[in-house]
Amino acid sequence: MNVDIFLRKIITVVVLLLITDCSFGQVMIEFRKSELSNDGLEYSFELWALRGAGYNVIDPTTSNWQGLNIRSEMQLPPGVSILSSDMVLNDGFLADGGISSMFFAPPANANVKRFSINLTRTGQNEIPAGGARLAIVNLAFDGVVQHSNMVTVVPFDNTTSGANWVNEVEGIRRVILGPINQALPVTLVSFEITKEAGTAKIKWVTTEETNSERFDVQRSKNGKTWSTFQTVAASGDSEAELTYEATDNDPCNGENLYRLHMIDKDGTSTFSGLRSLFFGSKSTLIYPNPVADYLIVGVDDPEKIAVIDIVNSDGINVYRSASKIEPRIDLRRLGNGHYIVKIKLMNGEETTQRIVVFK
């Protein structure tokens, strides 16, 4: 063998070993809040990075990532390909990034399609202890994709293939650990809310479920603060049409917003769209007004009242109800003037009414 060729081969092997050292620090990747559209033509998820084994932010040689190459595969139905891809970067954390469905050697299985996400970060930001959202990723397909199809981050193979990261200090390729055969989220084909005798009836239908654990049924008055009022166990794995139901027995006055938080056994989750239902004010009657001695509080169900407060014109609380709500409030010790009656219900809703004490 030619000596020059032999030496070049040795040098190539040595360099390859140097740039693919994966023994120092791992980055973990998660696809969170993944969602497959109802028509099966689009898939989106939040891309998160977390510190893995050996990733020590105190030691810049085992952390301080500057570049991520997240090479991934999707198992798709025969004849279906990735039509387009885009993503919205977390500008406060990343410097630049791109996504492509055209990259390293094609897989042997024709039903497996690949996409690659390449990211660089600004020098002052490190992966925080709780992880960092890097981007929101969207993939579009030229055919219908099923919930049973899966996505995988290609394992690093100690060469130049598979997902890897590099740091600023050494430029050595390091291991990225990501989801393996993660099923796409529950296929939700309908989600309906109806009013029934002062309650909200929630009904939804799925056609495919893989590894699903539960549905948290949530309500909000403003679309920002949400509370779970009922949890419904999911089937787990199913290719049949399944119907689920829940009931909100204590909706708020006015507009009520509802959504489903669909959670899988591996911790991944997604949210449904929003539904709205309006409830008129519950019958709460305060009389007489003006009042001289006793104020009567008439309600449909006194047990739904948490507390009653009365505040004078100076903002001082002059009355608070006991744990057991009494329908008649003694106001004989109060002087003439204007007061505010505040009634707080068990569901957190609060109503106020102005009264006049005149003797």
From first to last of its 359 residues, the chain has per-residue pLDDT tens of: 443 433 333 333 333 333 334 446 778 888 887 777 777 888 888 888 888 878 887 887 778 888 888 888 888 888 898 998 898 988 777 878 888 876 555 667 778 888 888 888 866 578 888 888 889 999 999 998 876 677 888 877 666 567 888 877 666 777 788 877 776 666 777 889 998 877 899 999 987 777 788 999 999 887 778 899 999 999 887 878 889 999 999 888 777 889 898 888 877 777 777 788 888 655 567 888 888 899 988 776 777 788 999 999 999 999 999 888 888 899 999 999 999 999 888 877 777 888 999 87
DSSP 273-288: --EEEEEPPP-EEEE-
Listed by start position, the domains of the chain span 3-182, 187-279, 284-357
69: nearest Cα among 42, 29, 41, 36:
29
**8 A C-beta contact, residue 252 and residue 279:** yes
3-state DSSP assignment of residue 31: strand
Pick the CATH number of 187-279 from 3.40.50.1820, 3.30.565.10, 2.60.40.10, 2.70.70.10: 2.60.40.10
**290 prior amide bond cis, ω within 30:** yes
Q: Looking at domain 284-357, which CATH architecture does it have? A: Sandwich (2.60)
The residue length of the chain stands at 359
Domains 3-182 and 284-357 share a fold: yes
The CATH T-level fold of domain 3-182 is Immunoglobulin-like (2.60.40)
